[in-house]
């Protein structure tokens, strides 16, 4: 077994001889504070998969969820999701003291990368891509799961351009109660005001984050971005966003209206359910943007 340090970033050069639970490591894809994802050869030697290894802190959280609270950790939750617009999880488990999960390998890049580079993959397909993501998120909510980290970085494209919602590392059950410690999970640019103010999360906070993602995909910029996390959260609470047509005059009025409703600061104005937003976007499928 390869030493854990080599799999969590202490040794940044991953040997081709390294394996994770029987999967041979080809390269490191991305490394973050909660996990590291590797491109690996499938166990049967045919094709590649993505193997996610939880950091020591994330593993402690997973252990607490399963052993003390009797709730599923990311792998257990993700493997139950079967939808064409949600990443497919193939296996999960513990390898020694390490929690890992195996997912389909998606090589089309994430939506954030395509937005930042003005990729041709988005030409005339922005609305189509986000409508499919809305379909996937509707399904996730119907399974009683709140994603809690909807953003362009967590939308990957498959080789054929099909979008998949990924990363259920901070997802929680719709009936779970979060203790208000003052800490806020998620990216400040996508936080609904009620999440910033009261640490409330539900379908509508996911809808708000999706609305911001829609805005960013259509305009190439976030509606709120301060000098830092606290500054951005302050803007979320107190500043009304400019209409997206200010930055992209090609956005049709009906699509702008859907976007602004999705990211309304008042939950009673925002879409109540993700399926309502999916239906609204589907009704605009004739638009090319």
Active site residues: 149
Which residue is associated with the tokens 């971005």? 225
- Positive or negative, the CA dihedral 139, 150, 109, 81 is negative
Nearest to 170 by CA among 188, 150, 153: 150
Taking only Cα atoms into account, the Rg of the chain, rounded to an integer number of angstroms, comes to 19
Phi, psi of 163 (to 5 degrees): -80, 145
**Token pair for 117:** 């580079």
Q: Which residues, 6+ apart, have CB-to-CB distance to 63 below 8 Å?
A: 99
SS3 assignment, position 5: helix
DSSP line for 125-184: THHHHHHHHHHHHHHHHHTTEE-S--SGGGEEE-TTS-EEE---TT-EETT------S--
Contact 112, 129 (CB under 8 A): no
Alpha helices in the chain (DSSP H): 4-7, 56-63, 74-78, 111-117, 126-142, 193-198, 203-219, 229-238, 253-262, 274-282
Four-CA torsion 61, 64, 66, 70, nearest 10 degrees: -130
């Amino acid at each position: 077994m390869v030493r854990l340090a080599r799999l969590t970033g202490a040794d940044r050069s991953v040997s081709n001889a390294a394996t994770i639970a029987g999967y041979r490591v080809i390269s490191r894809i991305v490394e973050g504070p909660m996990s590291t994802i590797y491109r690996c050869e499938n166990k049967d030697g045919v094709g590649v998969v993505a193997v996610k290894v939880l950091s020591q802190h994330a593993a402690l959280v997973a252990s607490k969820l399963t052993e003390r609270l009797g709730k599923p950790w990311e792998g257990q939750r993700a493997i139950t999701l079967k939808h064409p617009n949600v990443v497919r999880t193939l296996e999960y488990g513990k390898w020694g003291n390490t929690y890992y999960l195996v997912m389909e390998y998606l090589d089309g890049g994430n939506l954030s990368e395509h937005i930042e580079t003005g990729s041709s993959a988005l030409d005339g397909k922005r609305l189509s891509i986000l409508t499919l993501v809305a379909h996937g998120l509707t399904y996730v909510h119907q399974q009683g799961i709140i994603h809690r980290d909807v953003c362009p970085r967590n939308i990957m494209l498959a080789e054929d351009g099909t979008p998949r919602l990924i990363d259920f590392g901070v997802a929680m059950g719709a009936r779970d109660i979060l203790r208000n410690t003052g800490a806020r999970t998620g990216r400040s640019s996508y936080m609904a005001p009620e999440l910033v103010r009261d640490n409330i999360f539900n379908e509508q906070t996911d809808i708000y984050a999706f609305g911001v993602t829609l805005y960013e995909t259509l305009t190439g910029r976030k509606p709120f971005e301060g000098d830092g996390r606290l500054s951005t959260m302050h803007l979320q609470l107190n500043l009304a966003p400019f209409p997206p047509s200010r930055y992209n005059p090609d956005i049709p009025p009906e699509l702008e209206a859907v976007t602004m409703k999705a990211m309304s600061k008042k939950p009673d104005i925002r879409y109540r359910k993700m399926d309502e937003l999916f239906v609204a976007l589907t009704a605009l499928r004739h638009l090319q943007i």
